[in-house]
Amino acid sequence: MLYEKTLVKGHTQAVNTEVERNDTMFNFVYGPSAGGLTETVMFNMLTTGESIKNMSSDTSFKMRNMEVIGKKIDDVIPFIERINGPFSASHSIAFLSAVEDAEGIEVDKNVLMNRIIEIELERIRNHLHVTARMCEAAAFGVPYNSLFYLREKVNRIISQYAGHRYFFGVNKVARINSDFRGVSKSITGVERETRDIYNSLLESKIFLDRLQGNGVVTTLGCIGPAARGLGLRFDARKDSDSLPYRKLGFSPVVERELGGDAMSRLIVRFDEISKSLELIKKAEAELGSSVKPNARSRANGEGVGRVESPSGDTAYLVKLSNGRLKTIDMLSASSVNLPVFQKSTRNNVFTDFHFNWESFGIWISEIAVRFV
Amino acid sequence: MKTNAWFLKGLKRLGRTEKYPNQMSAKEEKPEVNRNITTKFNRFKRSFYLYQIDSGTCGACNIELQALSTPHYDLNRFGIFFTNSPRHADALVIMGVYSEKMEKVLESAYGAMPSPKLIIALGGCAITGCGIGKHPKLSNKAVVSIPGCPPDPYAILNGIIKAKEVSSK
């Protein structure tokens, strides 16, 4: 139903047999615990020494079981927030949109606008994180530190408005515990400085050489910035009704000319930071004076919620029974983009691996999770 | 010309590191020191190398720990560094809940570390399981536990410094 793909259950993808193994090739295992990786994941590369001929990944090392089935919705939210901390707002809002759809609740406009601001703040923070990690892979100290400085600044702004650096405890059914009025002023300086770093990075031929032609995506099976870097207009903000982005005149950032490499994903991310600021300003202008409380209308039903997380679509399909969670299915951006990333590494050299990996913004924590 | 511009930008941003511990707020979670274990150590007076393992996190603890090497916090000024190999590590930082496959990885990494060595449990998941699961078995040996979900970078910095100082006595 959701892209015909729900939670990844197997987690171990076999090495593709399309590539014929010969005597010059050997398997190089990277992970599960290695210095260059933020999270636990194991990559098994078939290589001739420098060039990667094929790759598989095992994401099951940090598998977590979330005991949510049969629980009340308010008790489930803390678990959903902790599926992936950096995308906590996206996950909790997608889940709550599904619950509200199932319960038939009409959510107040103020709440929806505040939710848009939350997700856009999360996007700015994540894009700063991803681009900083790419600079780290190139050992570019000044932009790396500057971008991480800005990421920390955004984290503190979020903490100031939401009371938590990762939006834990902020979102509830049909309501929100924070008010983001005035946040655009705080974030404007961050955007200006990011633009300055971006322009400087584009002047560095050394940096561009590592990105151009690296990790070229040729398949249509990707979502998020990876798809938009390929020139595809895939964006849940445009396609989904869970949040009123269309009222804000949203149109996605699409990079048509660069052909889906790590460079195109970087450019999309930088442009999306400006776009997010624009959306925050518009959403802030739409905020009214008071938030109307909503009562729950029915305790049974099925609903879908879909939002655009910083790395792509995040969607939930839930069934409720007597106000409790009966079944839940999740589609995460990382589970869709991981196989695409694996294909894109073919014939790349290992030294370019990190640029490509970071450019996708994949989080293993939203893949290695099971609902029980 | 362009190199100069980069250099000047770097200089402009030199003053971004904050003073420690002035930024620690009173409400910050304080690290819990296990006095029974700490008395065994007395070797980490100068440099202190950390190896981190994610046993089953949501990713937030990973980012907050990583933030320590950024300009606001600058972990290196305290003689504390991250290392990419357990062979060079003085302390193992465990994050996340128990997962069966990672338990073996944790034990292997701890076994590969040279003595004296210690364990730091970072975040609610590594200390109690945080309601999501059980905590990793190796967390029982933690010298310092840093609570929070996720702990603030200053709370983490405070905990690591505490681990270094206590183990130096």
- Residue pLDDT tens, chain A, 372 long: 344 443 434 344 444 546 677 778 888 999 888 888 899 999 999 998 888 999 999 999 999 999 999 999 999 999 999 999 999 999 999 999 999 999 998 899 999 999 999 999 999 999 999 999 999 988 888 899 999 999 999 999 999 999 999 999 999 999 999 999 999 998 988 988 999 999 989 888 888 888 888 889 887 789 999 999 988 899 999 989 899 999 999 999 888 777 788 999 999 999 999 999 999 999 999 998 766 666 666 778 899 999 999 999 999 999 999 889 999 999 999 999 999 999 999 888 988 999 999 999 999 999 999 999
Give the minimum alpha-carbon distance from A158 to chain B in angstroms, rounded to a whole number. Answer: 13
Would you list the domain boundaries of chain B? 31-168
What per-residue confidence (pLDDT) applies to A95? Answer: 96
- Mapping DSSP onto H, E and C, the string for chain B reads CHHHHHHHHHHHCHHHCCCCCCCCCCCCCCCEECHHHHCCCCCCCCCEEEEEEEEECCCHHHHHHHHHHCCCCCHHHHCEEECCCHHHCCEEEEEECCCHHHHHHHHHHHHHCCCCCEEEEECHHHHCCCCCCCCCHHHHHCCEEECCCCCCHHHHHHHHHHHHHHHHC
Q: Which of A32, A34, A85 sits opposite B150 (nearest CB)?
A: A85
* % of chain B surpassing 90 pLDDT: 49
Interface test with B, best of A11, A62, A84, A202 (most B CBs within 10 A): A62
Q: B31-168 — its CATH code?
A: 3.40.50.12280
Query: Long-range contacts for A322-327 (Cβ within 8 Å, ≥24 apart)?
Result: A323/A72, A323/A73, A323/A296, A323/A299, A324/A70, A324/A71, A324/A72, A324/A73, A325/A68, A325/A69, A325/A70, A325/A71, A325/A72, A325/A73, A325/A76, A326/A69, A326/A70, A327/A69
- Is pLDDT at B38 greater than 60 in this prediction? no
Classify each residue of B26-46 as buried b or exposed e, where b means 16 or more C-beta atoms within 10 Å of its C-beta: eeebebebbeebbeebeebee
Q: What angle do CA A168, A334, A214 make, to 5 degrees?
A: 130
Residue A148's CB: how many other CB atoms inside 10 A? 24
B85 neighbourhood in chain A, CB within 8 Å:
35
**E-only strand ranges, chain A:** 26-30, 42-47, 52-58, 64-66, 171-172, 175-176, 301-309, 312-321, 324-331, 369-371
B97 neighbourhood in chain A, CB within 8 Å:
64
Which residue is closest to B51 within chain A, CA to CA? A35
Cα separation, A177 vs A165, whole angstroms: 14
Average pLDDT of span B108-117:
92
B150 neighbourhood in chain A, CB within 8 Å:
85, 165-166
Which fold would CATH assign to domain A26-371? Cytochrome-c3 Hydrogenase; chain B (1.10.645)
Q: Is B9 on the interface with A (CB under 8 A)?
A: yes
How many Cβ contacts (< 8 angstroms) between chains A and B?
Answer: 116
Cβ–Cβ gap A33/B149 under 8 Å: no
Q: Which of A35, A60, A79 sits opposite B132 (nearest CB)?
A: A79
Tokens of A123: 């996007």
Chain A residues with CB within 8 Å of chain B CB: 32-36, 38-40, 60-66, 78-79, 82-86, 88, 129, 141-142, 145-146, 148-149, 151-152, 155, 165-166, 168, 200, 203, 363, 365, 368
Which residue is closest to A66 within chain B, CA to CA? B132
Residue B83's CB: how many other CB atoms inside 10 A? 15
What per-residue confidence (pLDDT) applies to A347? Answer: 86
This model of the complex carries an ipTM of 0.90
Q: Which of B59, B102, B105 sits opposite A84 (nearest CB)?
A: B59
Cβ–Cβ gap B56/A64 under 8 Å: yes
Average pLDDT of span B111-123:
92
What per-residue confidence (pLDDT) applies to A310? Answer: 95
Q: A20 or B38, which is more confident? A: A20
Would you list the domain boundaries of chain A? 26-371
B25 neighbourhood in chain A, CB within 8 Å:
none
Closest CA to B79 of B157, B169, B19: B157
Under a CB-based contact definition with an 8 Å cutoff, are residues B50 and B89 in contact?
Answer: yes
Cα separation, B22 vs A149, whole angstroms: 19
Cα separation, A194 vs A124, whole angstroms: 10
Q: Which of A33, A36, A363 sits opposite B53 (nearest CB)?
A: A33
